[in-house]
Amino acid sequence: MKRMHPLSLQEDYVLNRKGTESPGSGAYYQHREKGVYVCKRCDAPLYLSSHKFPSQCGWPSFDDEITDAVERRPDGERTEILCRRCGAHLGHVFSGERATAKNIRHCVNSISLSFVAAFTDEGYERAIFAAGCFWGVEHLMKACQVVVRTTVGYIGGHIVNPTYEEVCTKATGHAEAVEIIFNPNLTDYKTLVKYFFEIHDPTQWERQGPDIGTQYRSAIFYLTEKQRDTALEIIEVLQNQMDVVTAVVPAGPFYPAEEYHQRYYEKTGQEPYCHRRNKIFL
């Protein structure tokens, strides 16, 4: 199953016909927000905001990439970089300039990218967790006093804008997940990660209770290096108690599920059938 975003004429010129946008014209050239840069065509995660640095070259510059996200190809005397998932043209990579300690620069067209922000316009932080059926995960997460709002949806697959019926075929690769918006002045990401591990069984591979399939996998989708490091730190502690199979992977776009899935247990008055809180942290 394949589905990607339609492209404008200018986007097609850059991503498909390997063109270049004018220097200094791109939306992400001076961009400083925290989050994840993804492919404009297929939404594959490509770069973290912590990889980005000011090079004054006229295009967004990154001195690292998300593992296995970017493909390199010879292009005359230069090296072209492309999205590994869909082959979209990103720009070129250069080494030996010593602009950063990593001594590499991915020179990327803004128009080849979209951005997934780690923080909302109000300054709230975003967390994205998958732990089986999203109805139960949302229901228990909403019980946290510090959670501003929640949304259930899909993330981690290889087509854009999936539907529930498509995700259920197990052909899209998406996980059922919950996007949590919280106030970082009232709590921290670490507290939410601990709570996440207490409301599901992180030792179950691609299932949660009676629900079986890749869409029910346990996963943390991080939006910053700090979120990634926090999740890995907690998993390391838990490994002394149990065999944790939770994946920690970069977030791409979160696609909200259909309205009838939102706040399902609140609407129906029922209770989760495969989620409950089991305190494992003091």
- The active-site residue, picked from 39, 133, 168, 274, is 133
Alpha helices in the chain (DSSP H): 9-15, 134-141, 164-168, 189-198, 225-238, 264-268
d(CA 71, CA 197): 35
**Short-list 230, 218, 262, 197, CA closest to 130:** 218
Classified as helix, coil or strand, 148 is: strand
Q: Is 168 annotated in the active site? A: no
- Residue 189 in tokens: 């990401």
Q: Are 228 and 249 in contact (CB under 8 A)?
A: no
- The active-site residue, picked from 39, 42, 83, 107, is 107
Strands of 76-161, DSSP E: 78-83, 89-95, 104-108, 113-117, 125-131, 147-155
Q: Kindly list the strands in the beta sheet with 247-250, ordered across the sheet, starting from the edge strand earlier in the chain.
A: 247-250, 218-222, 125-131, 175-182, 147-155, 255-256
Residues ≥6 apart with Cβ < 8 Å to 245 = 202, 203, 204, 205, 218
- Residue 44 in tokens: 């594959």
d(CA 111, CA 232): 33
**Short-list 25, 78, 46, 197, CA closest to 127:** 197
Q: At what angle do helices 189-198 and 225-238 cross, to 10 degrees?
A: 40
Point out the residues that are catalytic.
107, 133
